[in-house]
Structure 1
Amino acid sequence: MSRLLTDDEVTRQLADLPGWEREGDAVVATIEAPDFPAAIRLVAAAADEAEQMNHHPDIDIRWRTTRWLLTTHDAGGLTQLDIELAHRINAVARAEGVDLGG
């Protein structure tokens, strides 16, 4: 099992993750794709990344807006797996033409 990150570790690592913020024991982001097909491609590509990691996000899709929630349930909070998956989600979002800023 992955170890829980400290509050300082989470804060420091979120500084390198544009669009992500802490929400209790999770990190969340709302990512708006250019259009609905791009949003679906983003979810599909992120699903491939999540499956490779065996670490699966909670995802909500509303037209071209996707909302992501990451937490490590079996650890009871945030671990490095969540941070790594957030980076991978941002990478596939950029590949779909999303401007994440930062």
Structure 2
Amino acid sequence: MSPYTDAKIEESLESLPGWSQEGEAIVKTFQFADFRTALNFINRAAGPIEEMDHHPEWTNVYNRVDIRLSSHDVGGVTGRDIQLATVLERVADATI
């Protein structure tokens, strides 16, 4: 698996609102109503993330979850990152 080019990343992010490229990763901040809802998102996302065996870097502060996705084994963004971002969007939509 090869890392995506900047053009391919940009094209892939067109269908993922709020996601952007930051160096060799894609990032997004999800904001929820409160801490409990943010934590619910994290817990709901854990199952699909584990099934994909592709774990994000993320932090949680109160109602905010900051996510950074990169395929470290190839040193950049790949289709796996785009796929996980898509899954996280679905989980966030179901959490709100």
TM-score (norm 2): 0.95
Indicate the residue corresponding to 2:82 in structure 1.
83
Superposed CA deviations along residues 44-93 of structure 1, whole A, max 9, x for unmatched, are: 12221111110000010000101000000001111000000001111111
Measure the CA separation in 2 of the matches of 1:61 and 1:13: 25
TM-score (norm 1): 0.90
- Which amino acid is the alignment partner of residue 48 of structure 2? E
Let me know the Cα RMSD of the aligned residues. Answer: 0.8
List runs of 5+ in structure 2 lacking aligned partners.
none
Measure the CA separation in 2 of the matches of 1:15 and 1:90: 13
Deviation at 1:3, TM superposition (A): 2.0
Runs of 4+ in 1 over 4 A off after TM superposition: none
Indicate the residue corresponding to 2:43 in structure 1.
44
Matched residue count: 96
Identity of aligned residues (%): 36
Superposed CA deviations along residues 20-58 of structure 1, whole A, max 9, x for unmatched, are: 000000000000012211111111122211111100000
